[in-house]
Chains A and B, each alone.
Chain A
Amino acid sequence: MAKTAELLPGTLDMLILKAVSLKPLHGYGVLLRIRQISRDALEIPQGSLYPALYRLEHHDLIAAEWGQSENNRRAKYYTLTAAGRRRLRDETAGWNRLASAIAVALSTTSEEV
């Protein structure tokens, strides 16, 4: 198994929003999709996945609807709402700023000080 990284606090919501933005997914699908798009580098704590989904739904960032799964089981599918799309864009931009700032900071060599 590949080496996995712990999630930073607050990043789970962002990843869920990203996952359902690509295609409507059920809860388990979200888990798989995050693993897939992070190339198995991120380990999602399964216990916190559902509370996070419910929180996002309650805040109207994602919407839920019951549908049929690939193997014909009833499953709850999540889609991104307009508010969720906005939130994802903002968080992505924020994350990129933070990441590049930290990257710059960490790549500083002694000559540059």
Chain B
Amino acid sequence: MLKRFRSLFRVLTRRREFEDGMTEELSFHIEQYTDDLVRSGMSREEAARVTRRELGSPINIKADCRQAFGIHLLDELRRQLSYAIRLLRKSPGFTATALLTIAVCFGANLTIFAVIDSVLLRPLPFPEPGRLTTIFNTYPKAGVERDGSSLTNYYERRGNVPAFTSLAIYRYGTEIVGEPGSTERDQTMRVSPDFFSTLGLGPVIGRSFTEEETTSETDHVAILSDTFWRQRYNADSNVIGKQIRVNSVPRTVIGVLPPAFRFLSSDAQLFLPLASRPEDRTPSQRHAGGNVIQMIARLQPGATLAQAQSEIDAQNASLEADDPQAKMIADAGFRSLVVPLHADHVVAIRLTLLLLQAGAMALLLIGAVNLVNLLLVRASGRVKELAVRQALGAGRGYVVSEVVVETTLLTLVGGLLGLVIGAGGIHLLGMLGVDRLPLGSRIAFDGRLALVALLAAIIMGIVFAVPIAWFNLRRHLGNALQSESRSGTSGRATQFLRHSFIVSQIALAFMLLAGAGLLGLSLQRAMAVSPGFQSDHVLTGHILLPWADYPDGPSRLAFAEKLMDKVGPLPGVLYAGVVNNVPFSGKTGKSAATVLGHILRPSESARGHYSYGVGGDYFHAMGFSLRSGRFLTADDSAGSTRVCVVDEDFARYYWPNASAIGGRLWDGSEVGKDNEAFTVVGVVGGVKQAGLTEDYAQGAIYYPYVFRIEDSFFVAVHTTLPPESLGLALQRVVRQIDPDIPVNDLRSMETRIADSLVARRSPALLAGLFSGIALLLTAIGTYGVLSYAVAQRRREIGLRMALGAQPGHIRGQFLYLFLRLLAGGVLLGVIGAWLTSQAMQAVLFHVPPFNLAILTSALCIIALVSLAACLLPSSRAARISPMDALAEE
């Protein structure tokens, strides 16, 4: 088979040579034979005649020879192709509409498919990625869905869970890298020694981390990403052993990762050992995850998730047996879940992507219906021509292949244009910030996508050809030839087909509109949620103090105080404050607190709360509203009085019927010593930490900064200027205090909030765009079908008008037809919209799936648009002049 294709290909590439060879071979034969006959005593004329008779016509022989090579099929294809091109060029209006429809629908699908392909379908770049899992602790009853894993979990599980070949932990971070004066902040990952072996992909130069390198005294080593190695070390192959300064501490480069290494969506350039102290690994730290450290594990070949899950459950149960806090942990609904790594990483956007693809498919369907309709109209215009050709001997196969060639040509060219639109669409998605979605940076326009597009275009061409070929073959020759009309009549079946096309188009467009409406409303409601503070005119930035230079609380506090002193007097600054975790930072770790006098009810478990350490004028800087009491002040943040501020959610939960002011609580999950209790001095508005759509009122506690000093903190500045304009000044101030320290992640609060909505905004925009296109296509489709119906019944209308029918009556008749179609479409559309909204429920925010306002607006829009599309043809019908219509033909 392959050989035959190769021989055909060889001939096709040297077609001239093949033809010339054939001619030469035959003339050689004729010459030789004639000569031989002459030699045997025949006259030359006689010999030539005999040769001609015995050999037959060279033209026929050549045709047979071509057929032997299968070339005739390709010649036929070429003929049909040029016929199709001629036909398409003859009706530029139809061709342009068809190509544009295919291009737009195709482009929309390609764009979404590119995202689905990179985010959902393409496996992670590790060997046997299907065996990679992630394990995280969850305490659902405490309001903590996800708490990562603890160091203790890692050291207890490693080697003790038979379903896993290996198990590793990691944490994301940023570090200050480089020599003094030219430092940069880089994304990093701290990983356990078995991290790379668990993934199955490790350093290509040098080695991985060892067990000995997991203490803070011995962890002065680093592994570089390929990009980092190329950019900073110019791909120096002798990089191993060189020193690199990370957070002011020199580390030795021990390895370089391959270019393909990319862990999930991480942009880490530098990999460091995840060092810890023995006391961090003890059973008392088992539940101290805080969603900072994450665990991955590789399943044994053949092992299942369920098996791994039951082994983890069993181990947890036996470990918890002698845990003093066992009851509280159990009450919180504690479990460690084993889930596939890839699926878990994209779980938040999976449904949205699938819905968008479904939307794009609906669009394609609408476009396809339009196209088939247009093609049918064309085909019925050519019924007679086709009948004549069939009568003259065109076979059924020929008729079918002609249609297939034409539709495939259309879909291929349209698909090519669609590729261009798709590339544009992917670019547009990039501008919408889609690359910030999980695995979003993998989204690319590549050969794989083009191949899928090519296949889809061919399949589409064949699918389009089916109804047209059916239409062409179904007619009886005689009928068509006898029919007096130039274009033949349209049968009941075709008319029904056309009308059901319109109905389904309207239904699909209605569904798209309703879906887009739900997404839009959902986005609007999310944006209307108050984050708990005034987000305008606030600039925030992240600062990380290197451990070597700022090893303890006092030095870090001193830095923060110096910073407040210098930022406050900057021109345009009203208030400045520091906080260890600013809202919308992406960090959503929660911790426990114990309220004096609060006794857990039987079904209640301890709760996780957002806990902040705040300094300077944080509350004023962020524009928090004070509900009662007072804010924490700069004196509190440096002082030693144990006071705190809680938010209204917290206050309402613990003191439902009384004032929270004066209430006492401990930082941690146990009642502590009396002199360690914090007294509530103020209640502020509830805060959204994870995002505007965070529904669970988690409660928040604000401690004075001195009690929650961390090496990483945010600075928040309220300014009268546009917030971004203050960025450089802020950076300069920080460099004045310590030239080694950069300010990272400088964004206004408004930008942070907008960025947090990217997973809602882009889908809503795309769905809106899709339904706009769908409306346009439906309008074109309705217009097309009704104009055709009018054109077909011209004579009939003319006759009726000659007999006294009024124009208004004729117009009304077409409007009535349209209204029937609209009603059918909307009815189906409502059912469809109900089904889709059920599927969409999980991505909607505070929008009931069956929203009457949205359905009504969708109905109005679709009725208006399609009515506009139908007015033109029906008034044309009313203007038909009886004389002209009857005089035609």
Binding site for B on A (CB under 8 A): 26-28, 31, 46-48, 50-52, 54-55, 57-60, 66, 69, 73-76
Q: Given A58-B7, A59-B4, A60-B4: A51 and B25 within 8 A (CB)? A: no
Nearest A residue (CB) for B65:
A54
Of B67-75, B345-353, B384-392, the one touching chain A: B67-75
Q: Would B55 and A58 count as touching, CB distance under 8 A?
A: no
Is B60's CB within 8 Å of the partner chain A?
A: yes
Residues in A whose Cβ lies below 8 Å from that of B459: none
Q: Given A46-B55, A46-B56, A51-B61: A75 and B28 within 8 A (CB)? A: yes
Question: How many Å lie between the Cα of A7 and that of B426 in the bound state?
Answer: 67
Question: How many Å lie between the Cα of A54 and that of B7 in the bound state?
Answer: 11
Question: How many Å lie between the Cα of A57 and that of B3 in the bound state?
Answer: 11
Question: How many Å lie between the Cα of A58 and that of B1 in the bound state?
Answer: 10
Q: How far is the CB of B7 from chain A (nearest CB, A)?
A: 5
Is B54's CB within 8 Å of the partner chain A?
A: yes
Question: How many Å lie between the Cα of A51 and that of B65 in the bound state?
Answer: 4
Residues in B whose Cβ lies below 8 Å from that of A73: 28, 31
Question: How many Å lie between the Cα of A76 and that of B65 in the bound state?
Answer: 14
Q: Would A60 and B60 count as touching, CB distance under 8 A?
A: no
Q: How far is the CB of B34 from chain A (nearest CB, A)?
A: 11
Q: Would A58 and B68 count as touching, CB distance under 8 A?
A: yes
Residues in A whose Cβ lies below 8 Å from that of B65: 50-51, 54
Q: Would B24 and A54 count as touching, CB distance under 8 A?
A: no
Additional pairs, 16, CB under 8 Å, beyond known A54-B65, A76-B24: A27-B25, A28-B33, A46-B55, A47-B54, A50-B64, A51-B67, A54-B64, A54-B69, A57-B68, A58-B4, A58-B7, A58-B68, A58-B69, A73-B28, A73-B31, A75-B25
Most buried by A among B21, B32, B55, B67: B32
Contacting residue for B29 out of A28, A48, A55, CB 8 A:
A28
Chain B contact residues, majority secondary structure: helix
Question: How many Å lie between the Cα of A46 and that of B28 in the bound state?
Answer: 13
Binary CB contact string for chain B from 661 to 705 against chain A (1 if under 8 A, 0 otherwise): 000000000000000000000000000000000000000000000
Binary CB contact string for chain B from 553 to 594 against chain A (1 if under 8 A, 0 otherwise): 000000000000000000000000000000000000000000
Question: How many Å lie between the Cα of A113 and that of B382 in the bound state?
Answer: 68
Q: Given A27-B29, A60-B4: A51 and B24 within 8 A (CB)? A: no
Question: How many Å lie between the Cα of A58 and that of B67 in the bound state?
Answer: 10
Residues in A whose Cβ lies below 8 Å from that of B31: 73
Question: How many Å lie between the Cα of A60 and that of B55 in the bound state?
Answer: 25
Which B residues, 135 to 186, have Cβ-Cβ distances below 8 Å to chain A? none
Q: Would B64 and A51 count as touching, CB distance under 8 A?
A: yes
Residues in A whose Cβ lies below 8 Å from that of B64: 48, 50-51, 54
Is B26's CB within 8 Å of the partner chain A?
A: yes
Q: Would B68 and A55 count as touching, CB distance under 8 A?
A: yes
Q: How far is the CB of B9 from chain A (nearest CB, A)?
A: 12
Q: Would B3 and A60 count as touching, CB distance under 8 A?
A: yes
Contacting residue for A50 out of B3, B54, B61, B70, CB 8 A:
B61
Chain A contact residues, majority secondary structure: helix
27 pairs across A/B with beta carbons < 8 Å?
Answer: A27-B29, A28-B28, A31-B29, A46-B29, A46-B55, A46-B56, A47-B54, A47-B56, A48-B64, A50-B22, A50-B26, A50-B29, A50-B61, A51-B61, A51-B68, A54-B64, A54-B65, A54-B69, A55-B68, A57-B7, A58-B68, A60-B7, A69-B28, A74-B28, A75-B28, A76-B21, A76-B24
Q: Would B60 and A47 count as touching, CB distance under 8 A?
A: yes
Question: How many Å lie between the Cα of A53 and that of B516 in the bound state?
Answer: 65
Binary CB contact string for chain B from 40 to 79 against chain A (1 if under 8 A, 0 otherwise): 0000000000000011100011001101111000000000
10 smallest beta-carbon distances between A and B, as pairs: A47-B56, A51-B64, A54-B68, A55-B68, A54-B65, A46-B55, A28-B32, A28-B29, A58-B69, A60-B3
Nearest B residue (CB) for A43:
B54
Q: What bracket does the count of chain B residues touching chain A fall in?
A: 20 to 34
Q: How far is the CB of B508 from chain A (nearest CB, A)?
A: 49
Q: How far is the CB of A2 from chain B (nearest CB, A)?
A: 14
Question: How many Å lie between the Cα of A73 and that of B30 in the bound state?
Answer: 13
Binary CB contact string for chain B from 3 to 38 against chain A (1 if under 8 A, 0 otherwise): 110011000000000000110111011011100000
Residues in B whose Cβ lies below 8 Å from that of A59: 4
Residues in A whose Cβ lies below 8 Å from that of B32: 28
Question: How many Å lie between the Cα of A75 and that of B32 in the bound state?
Answer: 11
Q: How far is the CB of B15 from chain A (nearest CB, A)?
A: 14
Residues in A whose Cβ lies below 8 Å from that of B29: 27-28, 31, 46, 50
Q: How far is the CB of A34 from chain B (nearest CB, A)?
A: 14
Question: How many Å lie between the Cα of A54 and that of B24 in the bound state?
Answer: 14
Nearest B residue (CB) for A47:
B56
Q: How far is the CB of A107 from chain B (nearest CB, A)?
A: 36
Residues in A whose Cβ lies below 8 Å from that of B70: 58
Question: How many Å lie between the Cα of A52 and that of B67 in the bound state?
Answer: 11
Residues in B whose Cβ lies below 8 Å from that of A66: 21
Q: Would A46 and B26 count as touching, CB distance under 8 A?
A: no
Nearest A residue (CB) for B67:
A51
Residues in A whose Cβ lies below 8 Å from that of B54: 46-47
Residues in B whose Cβ lies below 8 Å from that of A26: 25, 28
Q: How far is the CB of B814 from chain A (nearest CB, A)?
A: 59
Question: How many Å lie between the Cα of A73 and that of B31 in the bound state?
Answer: 11
Nearest A residue (CB) for B56:
A47
Question: How many Å lie between the Cα of A58 and that of B68 in the bound state?
Answer: 7
Q: How far is the CB of B261 from chain A (nearest CB, A)?
A: 47
Q: How far is the CB of A16 from chain B (nearest CB, A)?
A: 13
Question: How many Å lie between the Cα of A27 and that of B55 in the bound state?
Answer: 12
Q: How far is the CB of B501 from chain A (nearest CB, A)?
A: 46
Residues in B whose Cβ lies below 8 Å from that of A51: 61, 64-65, 67-68
Most buried by A among B33, B64, B70: B64
Question: How many Å lie between the Cα of A48 and that of B68 in the bound state?
Answer: 11
Q: Would A47 and B28 count as touching, CB distance under 8 A?
A: no
Nearest A residue (CB) for B26:
A50
Nearest B residue (CB) for A64:
B21
Q: Would A74 and B24 count as touching, CB distance under 8 A?
A: yes
Question: How many Å lie between the Cα of A52 and that of B32 in the bound state?
Answer: 19
Residues in A whose Cβ lies below 8 Å from that of B33: 28, 46
